[in-house]
C-alpha cells in the first residue's frame, strides 16, 4: 500500500489528494494518508525516511519521494490502468 504523508491545509498535498481521487484509488486498500503536520509522529517519520522535513512525501515499499509533481506522475504510472 502506498503511504502518503501530508496535512490538510498544504496545497501541494491537496494536488496529490486530487490525483488519488481522480485515479479512483481506495483508501486503506491502495493508499493510506498519514498526518504529517509539524510536531507529529508522521512528520518525524518523513524526516527519518527521507531526510527532509517536507510534505507531501510518498513511500511505496522501497520507493520514496518528495515533490508533488513526481508523486502524481508516480501514481499515474503505477495506477493508470486501475479501475
Ligand X SMILES: N[C@@H](CCC(=O)N[C@@H](CS)C(=O)NCC(=O)O)C(=O)O
Interface with ligand X (CB under 6 A): 10-12, 38, 53-56, 67-69
Q: Which set of grid coordinates corresponds to residue 4?
A: 502518503
Smallest distance, ligand X to C-beta of residue 16, A: 8
Residue 28 vs 48, nearer CB to ligand X = 48
Q: Which is nearer to ligand X, 55 or 59 (CB)?
A: 55
| CA dist., res. 21 & res. 63, Å (int) | 21
Residue 26: φ, ψ to 5°: -105, 125
Q: Give CA–CA dist 27/21, Å, rounded.
A: 10
Q: Which is nearer to ligand X, 26 or 38 (CB)?
A: 38
Amino acid at each position: 500500500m502506498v503511504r502518503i504523508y501530508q496535512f490538510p491545509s498544504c496545497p501541494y498535498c491537496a494536488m496529490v489528494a486530487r490525483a488519488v481521487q481522480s485515479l479512483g484509488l481506495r483508501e486503506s486498500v491502495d493508499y493510506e494518508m498519514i498526518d504529517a503536520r509539524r510536531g507529529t509522529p508522521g512528520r518525524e517519520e518523513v524526516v527519518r525516511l527521507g531526510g527532509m522535513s517536507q510534505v507531501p512525501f510518498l513511500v511505496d515499499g522501497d520507493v520514496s519521494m518528495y515533490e508533488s509533481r513526481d508523486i502524481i506522475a508516480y501514481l499515474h504510472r503505477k495506477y493508470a490502468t486501475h479501475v
